[in-house]
């Protein structure tokens, strides 16, 4: 018998922030959530009311939030459990809100970086479809007149036009199947590893992915270190959140080594997948017992690197895309004009 998993309840950043202020002011979480729900509509409102009802039944913060989207981050749940025991729940919520806000900003930066190439790609596909659907069929009879020089580019262009016109539905189905196969492959562990290995071969993409991922990991550790000093547990929790297999294995190994008494910087240095700057910051953190500050600085360093490589990527993308579009237009122009030029020579 198939058992459907319950949908995690939604709670946004603004609601968490308002809840933190209310708890700090001495307002019960149930009353605060019901007040916040009054300003929401639809599913967001019903989810906040459901969370408030759990508090009415005496549910703890960690148990209540375990049924929300926050449960997708084990580190958040661990911080909530720790903060409940020492009465710092408002501080924990504030810090989680800050971390979510920073993650959202970074994610928006990555999404903004991808908008320009997507727009150019869509415009290129639209131009290519217009050329194959409209331009080529209208001049087909002229191109095929006796005396016209039909080269390999023209033949390929005519064949592509015929394929698109007579088998357009098949072509679209094949493209849709390819996209669906790529999406499915990205969700399967073997396929995801293969896609990651290909993408990370490009230096700029590798740097972007490293800065984004390890910046988030450093921010997680800094957040956890503000409540607990058992740094090994932080790496163990990180291993459960990482989507990259090699990183997950490295964090698990670091956690096991630290729990056995090994120095953190030495445990990190033994894994090539972790950036070389991490052991340096970890060494300073160990000597000064300031994990929160050092990993916070490390997260800021990765944020600066992400911004730097994002600008480099944008500067590289524009000329590369223009060259690709120009080459496509040039090939189409050559395929169309070359037989016309040959026909003019034949007429003379």
Q: At what angle do helices 203-225 and 231-241 cross, to 10 degrees?
A: 130
Q: What is the mean pLDDT of residues 316-322?
A: 80
Domain regions of the chain by residue span:
13-72, 87-229+289-348
In this model, does residue 26 exceed pLDDT 60?
yes
Q: Which two tokens stand for residue 44?
A: 């967001």
Give tens-digit pLDDT for 251-271.
888 888 888 888 888 888 888
Torsion of CA 203, 204, 206, 212, to 10 degrees: 160
Cβ neighbours of residue 19 closer than 8 Å, sequence gap 6 or more? 29, 32, 33, 36, 93
Q: Could you give the 3-state DSSP secondary structure of residue 24?
A: helix
Q: What pLDDT is stored for residue 8 in this prediction? A: 83
Give tens-digit pLDDT for 190-242.
655 565 666 556 666 677 777 778 888 888 888 778 777 678 888 887 777 77
Q: Give the predicted TM-score (pTM) of the model.
A: 0.66
Q: Distance between CA atoms of 25 and 22, rounded to whole angstroms?
A: 5
Q: What is the mean pLDDT of residues 53-70?
A: 84
Q: Round the average pLDDT of the chain to a whole number and report it.
A: 79
Q: Distance between CA atoms of 276 and 274, rounded to whole angstroms?
A: 6
Q: What pLDDT is stored for residue 64 in this prediction? A: 86
Give tens-digit pLDDT for 91-143.
888 878 877 777 777 777 777 777 877 888 888 888 888 888 888 888 887 77
What percent of the chain clears pLDDT 90, i.e. is strictly above it? 0
């Amino acid at each position: 018998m198939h058992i459907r998993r319950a949908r995690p309840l939604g709670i946004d950043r603004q609601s968490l922030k308002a809840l933190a202020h209310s708890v700090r002011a001495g307002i019960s979480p149930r009353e605060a959530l019901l007040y916040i729900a009054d300003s929401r509509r639809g599913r967001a409102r019903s989810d906040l009311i459901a969370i408030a009802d759990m508090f009415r039944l005496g549910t703890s913060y960690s148990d209540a939030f375990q049924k929300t989207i926050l449960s997708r981050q084990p580190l958040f749940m661990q911080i909530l459990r720790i903060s409940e025991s020492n009465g710092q729940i408002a501080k924990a919520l504030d810090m989680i809100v800050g971390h979510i806000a920073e993650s959202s900003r970074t994610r928006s930066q990555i999404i903004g970086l991808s908008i320009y190439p997507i727009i150019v790609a869509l415009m290129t596909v639209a131009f290519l479809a217009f050329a194959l659907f409209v331009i080529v069929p209208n001049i087909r009879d002229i191109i095929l007149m006796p005396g016209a020089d039909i080269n390999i580019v023209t033949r390929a262009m005519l064949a592509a036009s015929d394929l698109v016109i007579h088998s357009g539905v098949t072509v679209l189905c094949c493209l849709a199947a390819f996209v669906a196969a790529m999406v499915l492959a990205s969700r399967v562990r073997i396929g995801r590893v293969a896609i990651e290995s290909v993408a990370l071969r490009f230096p700029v993409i590798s740097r972007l992915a490293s800065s984004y991922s390890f910046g988030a990991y450093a921010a997680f550790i800094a957040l956890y270190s503000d409540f607990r000093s058992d740094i090994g547990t932080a790496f163990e929790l990180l291993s459960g959140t990482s989507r990259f297999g090699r990183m997950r294995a490295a964090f698990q190994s670091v956690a096991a080594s630290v729990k056995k008494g090994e120095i953190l910087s030495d445990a990190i240095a033994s894994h090539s997948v972790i950036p070389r700057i991490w052991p340096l910051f970890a060494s300073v953190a160990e000597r000064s017992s300031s994990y929160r500050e050092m990993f916070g600085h490390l997260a800021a360093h990765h944020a600066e690197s992400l911004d730097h490589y994002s600008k480099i990527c944008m500067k590289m993308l524009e000329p590369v895309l223009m060259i690709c579009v120009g080459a496509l237009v040039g090939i189409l122009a050559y395929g169309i004009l070359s037989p016309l030029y040959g026909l003019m020579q034949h007429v003379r």
